[in-house]
Structure 1
Amino acid sequence: MSDIKAPKAVSRFRTTRHLSGTTFAVVAFSAFLGAHAAMAQSSNSLITSYPQEPPSWDYWSVGATAISAATFINVRQPLIEVLGDGSLAPLLAKSWDISDDGLTITFNIRKATFSDGTDLDATDVVYSILKNKESPLASISVPLSVVEDVIAVDQQTVRLQLSSPSQRLMTELGRRAGIIVPNGAFEALNVATEMVGTGPYIFAEYNPGVDVKLVRNDSYWGDAPHFKTVTHRFIADETAAINALLAGDIDVISGVLGEGLERVDVINARDGFDSYIPPPLEISYIFLDTTNETLQNKSVRQAIALGVDREILLIAGQNGMGKTTCQYVVPSNAPWKNDYCPYDYDPAKARALLDAAGVDDLTLYFPYLTVAEFPALKEVLVSQMADIGVTLDAKPLDLGTWFEQVWGEGGQYDFGSITDGVSIEAFKGGQGRAPMIGPVVDTVFDNLVTVSDQIVDRDAYLDTMAEMAKVFADNAWVIPLFAKSAPALARTGLEGIKPYRNIMEFDLRNVREAN
C-alpha cells in the first residue's frame, strides 16, 4: 500500500446497484456490468459515506472530525490552502505579503460569492477571524492569540496586526482557524444545522441520523465540480458501509476508522474497487484527568504509560495501519519527529512504580466512544491496565454525549482515549483543551509553546519543537499510542481523489468519473 491509490491492473468491472453478494461472486465481466459502468460514468451524482455524524455542524464550538469530512473545502473554505507537503497555496486569499519583522500580514481577498448569494469581502474576513479568535476550541483560538487587530483596508484587502511573529499562524489559517463565513453568520444562522460558505457545493439538506445533501454551487469562484449532487451518508456500522460499497449502493467510503480496516486490503484486491491510504494525519492517545490527585503523582502516570503495549493497540484499532509513537507530533512526518520514547512497554516496571508510590487497587473512570476504533481500543486498554493493577471503569458513550460530558472544561473522566489531529501547542495550559485544563500547569511546556511560535530562525525553531515534544512525552498527562491513517475506499472509475488530507476532509473539487 502506498499513500495514494494502490496500483493494479485496469479493469472494466463495475459494481451494480441490483446484484446480491452471491450473484456478485459468479457474474463475470458481462455486457450488463459494462452497461452499468457506462451509466455510472454519465451520472451527475455521487454517494459517499462516513462512520460518524457530527453532534453539530458548528465548527466554532464543536471539535468533531466528522464536521470536516463532508464540508471542509467543499462548503466552507479557509483563507489559504495547506498542500500535501505542508506548503501554502492561495484559496480565498489570492495572495499575501508578510512584513520583514513578521508583525503584519496583508491578504488580498479574491472576488467570490457565498452560497446565500452575498459577495465575499473584507468585512467577512474581519468578522470571521475575530470570531474564530474567541472560539472555545484551542485548535482554533490558540493560533489566533497573536492577532492583535484585523483591519479592512479596502473591500478586498485585509491586514492582520500581530503582537509577535508566529510560525504557526499561516498554516492554521489554512485549517479551521481560517474558515471564512459571512459577516454576522453566527448571529443570523442556526449554525448547528445550517451552513453558508464559498465552496464548490451548497449545504442543501441535512437529514439527522441519515445524510447531508450537497448541491453544486453554480456561483463558485473556481472550476465547477464534476458532480451536480453529492449525498454524504452517516453509516456507523463499517461492515454495512463496505457491503453497501460492494453492492453499488454507495460510491465512496471517505474514511474507514474502525472494524472495516480489517477488510481494506481484501477490498483493494478485488477488481472494481480501490483503496486510498493518506499519510497519517492524527494521533491516537490516552489523556488523564489533571484534577485527579492520584494522577498528579507523576510516578502513577509513568506507570500507566509503561503499561501500554502500543503494537497490540495499533493492531486492534487500525489493523496495523499506521505507526506506533511515544510522542505527540502532528503531522507525523514533521521534521522534529524522532524516536524518543520515555515509556516503552514494561508492565513489571509499571507495577513496581505503583507499589513504590503506595497506590493499590486504583480504579479510574473511563468513558469511551462507541464509534470507530474506540470500542476495540477499550477492550485492550482495560486488559493492559488490569495487568499492572489498574481497574478501568469503562462506560460507553455515543459521540454527542461524549463531547458533552468528557471533552472540555469540567469533563467527567479519569482516563480517556481519543484520536485527534490538533497540534501539540493546543495543549498549552489554560487554553481550554482537554486534558490540560485543570489545576496542573506545566510551565516549562507552556513556555516552550510561547517561545517556539516566535522563533524566526528555522533550525532554532525545529530544535525547540523537538524539546517541546520531549517534555510533553515525559510528563505523561497525554500518552500517545499511534499515528493514524484513515483509508478511503471507492469503486473503480473515479479519479481526482486527493492523496492527502489536512483535517479529515474528503475534498470533492477534483473528483470525477474517469474518461
Structure 2
Amino acid sequence: MIHHLRRGVAISALWAGAALAQQTDITIGMVLEPPNLDPTAGAAAAIDEVVYANVFEGLTRFGPDGSVLPALAESWEISDDGSVYTFYLREGVTFHDGTAMTADDVVFSLDRARAEGSTNAQPALFANIVGVEAVGDLTVVVTLDGPDGAFLFDMAWGDAVIVAPESAETNATNPVGTGPFRFASRVEGDRVDLVRHDGYWGEHVALEAATFRFISDPNAAFAAMMAGDVDAFPNFPAPETLAQFAADPRFSVIVGSTEGETILAMNNAQAPLDDIRVRQAITHAINRQDIIDGAMFGYGTPIGTHFAPHNPDYVDLTGLSAYDPERSRALLAEAAPDGLTLRLALPPPSYARRGGEIIAAQLREVGIETEITNLEWAQWLEQVFRGRDFDLTIVSHTEPMDIGIYARPDYYFQYARPEFVALNDTLAQTTDPGARSALMVEMQQMIAEDYVNGYLFQLAKTGVANAAIEGLWANSPTQANDLTGVRWTQ
C-alpha cells in the first residue's frame, strides 16, 4: 500500500507542475518464502536472498563478480604457515539494536557456529577452527588446525555472518544485524519489509525501504510485474515470458549465471540406488537439453559434475553421462531385470516441477517408473534434506563452491566415499593455487565417475526489472538479492 501511495502522490505533484520525486522504495519478487530469517540456522537459499549483505554481514563478503571483499573486517593478516588469521575489525560498527559490534561478537558467532549441536547448515565452514580469541575490542585471532586456502572465502558465506549474543536466539523471527537495512516487519505467506538503517557504519544505501514479496506461481509473478506491483524479480519463475518483457521498454531483462548446480539427486545409501549400475542407467536415460528446453525454455548450461561451468577449474564431464537410452536399458537388464519404481520428490520451483515431469517421461522410456510427490519447501527440507526419506529429487544447489558437501556422511544424498573425503581434507589444507586446481579436478571426476547424482544444468539467473532500476546483480556468486548498490535512475 505504501508503495502505491508514494507513486500516487508523486504523479499528483507532476500534474501540479512539480518535478517528479525520485522513488526510494523497491518491491522485490521472490519465488520461495524463507522458513526463517536467520542465515546461521537454516539451509534454505531464500533466507540469504532476503538478508545477505542487506541485514547481516560477515568478516568478509562476496562481491557481484564472486570476489571476496572486506566487510566487518577491514583487513587481515595470515601467518607464514597459513594457520592463523588475524582480523582487524572496523571501528564504530553497531547492531541494529544500538549495541556495539566488537571482537567478542565475532568470538561468540564463530564459537556458536562450530559448537556441538549447532543448528548451522554449513558446519564444514568452521570445522578446522581450533580457537577464536579477542585481542582488544577490534582484533580477532582465529587459529586453524592447518593451512586453509579457502578460509576467507568460507567466511563470506551467509552462514558465517556475525551476530550478537543478545539477539542471536531470536534472529529467526526478529533479525538483528549490522547491515545497511534493518528488519521492519513480516507477514507470513506474503512479504518481509526492511527499512534503511541510518546508523550504518558504511556508505548509506540509496533505497529507504525494501519489500520482498513471495510469489511462487509463475502466472501470478508475470501479472505482478506487468501491473507494477513488483519492481524487480531477480530470479523470475516464468522464463517463457522473458521475450515479452524484453520487447516492452518499461522493463529490462537481466540474464546471467548462478552458482546453482541443478541435479537429479539420488539416495546413494538406499537400494536400488546403492548400485552404481542403477545410478549410471538413470543418468544415461536423461536428455539434458530436453530438460533445459522444456523446463527452462532454453536457459541453462549442461553440466556433468557438481561444479559451475564459469569456474576456471571446471571440467566438462557431460560425456560420461551422455544421453544413451540403449546403454541405460542394458545396465538395467543387469542390475534390475524385474524393473524399477522409484519415488521422485519435487520441491516447488518450476525447474523442479517442470523438469520432474520431463525426467519421469525419460525414465519411463527405459523401463523405470516414478511415483511423483510434490512437496512444499518446508516439507522438502524436513523429509528429503533432513530425513533422507526419498529415492530421487530435483534441486538447485546455489551455495558457492560447494563440492565439499560430497564429503559429508550425513548429507542427504549420502555419498561420502572415503577417497573423496580424503581429497576434500587435502584441499582444505592446500594453499597453492595450482595444487588446489588439480585436487578440484580430481574431485569433479570422482563424483562424475561414481554417478553420485544426475547432473542436469547450471541454473541461469533470469531476472526482470523496471527499466529505471540499476545496480541489481546480473550474476549470483552467492544466493543473495544484494540491494546495497540499487537505485532508481528516474
TM-score by length of 2: 0.92
Deviates more, 1:71-80 or 1:38-47: 38-47
Matched, 1:213 2:188: no
Task: Please tell me the residue identity of whatever aligns with 2:307.
Answer: V
Q: Does 1:167 align with 2:149?
A: yes
Aligned to 2:39: 59
Give 1:478's aligned amino acid: N
On the 8 A contact 1:80/1:178 being kept in 2, the answer is no
CA contact (8 A) 2:73 2:88 kept: yes
TM superposition shift of 1:231: 1.2
**Partner residue of 1:186?**
168
- SS of 2:135's equivalent in the other structure is strand
* 1:216 CA displacement: 0.7
Q: CA deviation at 1:141?
A: 1.3
- Secondary structure of the residue aligned to 2:127 is helix
Conservation of the 8 A alpha-carbon contact between 1:138 and 1:433: no
- The residue number in structure 2 matching 1:128 is 109
The counterpart of 1:234, out of the listed 194, 198, 214, is 214
Q: 1:371 aligns with which of 349, 373, 376?
A: 349
| Superposition pairs of residues 14-29 of structure 1, within 5 angstroms | none
Change (3 A) 1:133 1:268: farther
Report if the CA contact (8 A) 1:138-1:426 is conserved. no
2:13/2:20 contact within 8 Å kept: no
2:247 counterpart residue number = 269
Equivalent residue number for residue 22 of structure 2: 42
1:157 equivalent among 139, 142, 156:
139
Paired residue secondary structure (1:315): helix
- Describe the superposition over 1:94-151 as per-residue Cα deviations: whole angstroms up to 9, x where unpaired: 1011111100001011131111111110111111112222476786211211111111
- The superposition leaves residues 202-238 of structure 1 with CA deviations (integer Å, 9 ceiling, x where unpaired) of 1110100010100110101111111211111111112
Is contact 2:65-2:475 (8 Å) kept?
A: no
Matched, 1:507 2:478: no
Q: What is residue 339 of structure 2 aligned with on the other side? A: 361
Q: Residues 443 and 34 from structure 1, CA distance in 2 versus in 1: closer, same or farther, beyond 3 angstroms?
A: farther
Q: CA deviation at 1:171?
A: 0.6
Per-residue Cα deviation, 1:358-411 (whole angstroms, up to 9, x for no partner):
442211111111333211011101101111111111111111111111112x32
Alignment match, 1:334: 311
Task: Identify the match of residue 497 of structure 1 among 457, 467, 472.
Answer: 472
Query: Relative to structure 1, is the Cα distance of residues 224 and 162 closer, same or farther in structure 2, using a 3 angstrom cutoff?
Result: same
* CA-to-aligned-CA distance 1:446-502 (integer Å, 9 cap, x gap): 111111121232212111110100001111122210001222211111122233323
- Tell me, in whole angstroms, the C-alpha distance in 1 between the residues paired with 2:376 and 2:49: 18
C-alpha separation between the residues in 2 aligned to 1:61 and 1:209?
Answer: 20
Deviates more, 1:223-232 or 1:78-87: 78-87
Query: Conserved in 2, the CA contact under 8 Å of 1:108 and 1:156?
Result: yes
Shift of 1:263: 1.1
One-letter identity of the residue aligned with 2:390 = Y
- The 1:33–1:123 alpha-carbon spacing in structure 2 relative to 1, beyond 3 Å, is same
Aligned mates of 2:63, 2:14 — CA distance in 1: 37
Contact 1:51/1:372, CA 8 A, preserved across alignment: no
- Aligned counterpart in structure 2 of residue 411 of structure 1, from 366, 388, 395: 388
State yes or no: 1:118 paired with 2:95: no
Aligned residues: 477
Structure 1 contact 137–433 (Cα < 8 Å) conserved = no
Inter-CA distance 225–349: structure 2 relative to 1 (3 Å threshold): same
Distance 2:478 2:390 in 1: 26
1:469 to 431, 444, 460: 444
Matched residue SS, 2:173 = coil
Residue equivalent to 1:291:
269
Residues 66-81 of structure 1 mapped to structure 2, 5 A cutoff: 66-81=46-61
Q: CA deviation at 1:266?
A: 2.1
Distance change >3 Å, CA 47–CA 138, structure 1 → 2: closer
Q: Is 1:406–1:413's contact at 8 Å kept on the other side of the alignment?
A: yes
Q: Write out per-residue CA displacement over residues 71-107 of structure 1, whole angstroms, 9 at most, x where no aligned residue.
A: 1100011211223444322111110111111000010
Question: Structure 2: how far apart are the matches of 1:217 and 1:447?
Answer: 45
Change (3 A) 1:40 1:507: farther
Amino acid at match of 1:415: L
Alpha carbons 2:408, 2:416 under 8 Å: kept: yes
Residue among 431, 442, 458 paired with 1:483: 458
**Match of 2:273, SS?**
coil
> TM-score scaled by structure 1?
0.88
Q: Deviations over 1:34-79 (max 9, x none)?
A: 979x987523321111111012223233211111112110001121
Separation in 2, partners of 1:148, 1:74: 30
Task: Extract unaligned runs of 5+ from structure 1.
Answer: 1-15, 19-30
Alignment of 1:95-114 (within 5 A): 95-111=75-91, 112-114=93-95
Q: Secondary structure at the match of 2:258?
A: coil
CA distance in 1, matches of 2:487, 2:123: 36
Q: State the AA in 2 paired with 1:424.
A: I
- The equivalent of 2:8 in structure 1 is none
Deviation at 1:427, TM superposition (A): 1.9
2:124 maps to 1:142? yes
C-alpha spacing 1:487/1:308, structure 2 compared with 1 (3 Å): same
Q: Which secondary structure does the structure 1 equivalent of 2:394 belong to?
A: strand
* Distance of aligned partners of 1:359 and 1:147 in 2 relative to their CA distance in 1, 3 Å threshold: farther
Residue 398 of structure 2 is aligned with which of 421, 444, 455?
A: 421
Q: Distance in 1 between matches of 2:137 and 2:371?
A: 57
Change (3 A) 1:353 1:196: same
Q: Distance in 2 between matches of 1:461 and 1:42?
A: 48
User: SS at the partner of 1:280?
Assistant: strand
